[in-house]
Structure 1
Amino acid sequence: MAKVIGFEISSQDPKKAIEFYKMVFGWEVEDSNWNYWSIIPDTIGETGAFVGGISKGPGDFPHGTRIQIEVDSIDETLSLALQHQALIVREKMEFENYYLAYIVDPTGIGIGLIEFKQ
């Protein structure tokens, strides 16, 4: 069974969002990496809790929050998602330690898919 492992807050003004979450919730963030600011995990809960970040939202997902779900195979999950009326927003992208894709479910909710490299 796939599990929720994190979240992403998308904003057209990420610096303003970062300031808000710092001031209201005491969160600290790392320096930007590809217009994504990782939230330092110890500031959002116990070690091992969800991880997350704040990003500059793209034009097709300009703002909002989406969960990140770990899957065994992004390719298989994308295929299943398409069979069940999902929209692929970002095809599979490769990063150093993982693959990432974004979909929108049939009800309009954005979801990130993560497959860690073995």
Structure 2
Amino acid sequence: MSKVVHFEIPAEDMERASKFYENVFGWEITKWEGPFDYWLVKTGEENEPGIDGAIMPKESDDVIRNAISVDSYEEFAEKIEMEGGKMLTEKMGIPGIGYTGTFQDTEGNILLIVEFKME
């Protein structure tokens, strides 16, 4: 079974959004040192229920997206298409994480799949 493991909140102003979520919910937010603008969100301690996420630059009509962990990017991209969904992006490598891609489900919702490759 594949589990929701991450969320993404789109923002026009990354610092303003970070301050908002830090001040309202007490989340810890840090700028990722990766190849694109991405701010990591820690919503609680490891032993607490829930998931962590990120704040990312907003593009046109972006909405909050959830990332679903999968064993094989290729296998699930194929399943998504076979069941009436649509892959919206090509497979993208994320250094130190694995592979991800964005898809649209049959209801028009946009989500991500993530294949973790811890090496």
Q: For residue 35 of structure 1, give the secondary structure of its aligned residue in structure 2.
A: coil
**Mean CA deviation greater in 67-76 or 20-29:** 20-29
How far 1:55 sits from its partner (Å)? Answer: 0.3
Counting matched residue pairs gives 113
Cα distance change, pair 108–12 in 1 and its aligned pair in 2 (3 A): farther
Give the TM-score, by structure 2 length: 0.83
How far 1:69 sits from its partner (Å)? Answer: 0.6
Structure-2 separation of matches of 1:19 and 1:37: 12
CA-to-aligned-CA distance 1:19-61 (integer Å, 9 cap, x gap): 211121122211244111001x3xx1221541211000334xx
Partner of 2:117: 117
Structure 2 gaps, min length 5: none
Q: Tell whether the 8 Å contact from 2:27 to 2:44 is kept in structure 1 after alignment.
A: no
CA RMSD of aligned residues (A): 1.7
Partner of 2:28: 28
How far 1:9 sits from its partner (Å)? Answer: 0.8
Q: For residue 67 of structure 1, give the secondary structure of its aligned residue in structure 2.
A: strand
Structure 1 gaps, min length 5: none
The answer to whether residue 40 in structure 2 is matched with residue 38 in structure 1 is yes
Structure-2 separation of matches of 1:29 and 1:20: 10
Partner of 1:51: 52
Give the TM-score, by structure 1 length: 0.84
Cα distance change, pair 89–58 in 1 and its aligned pair in 2 (3 A): farther
The answer to whether residue 21 in structure 2 is matched with residue 10 in structure 1 is no
Structure-1 separation of matches of 2:104 and 2:11: 17
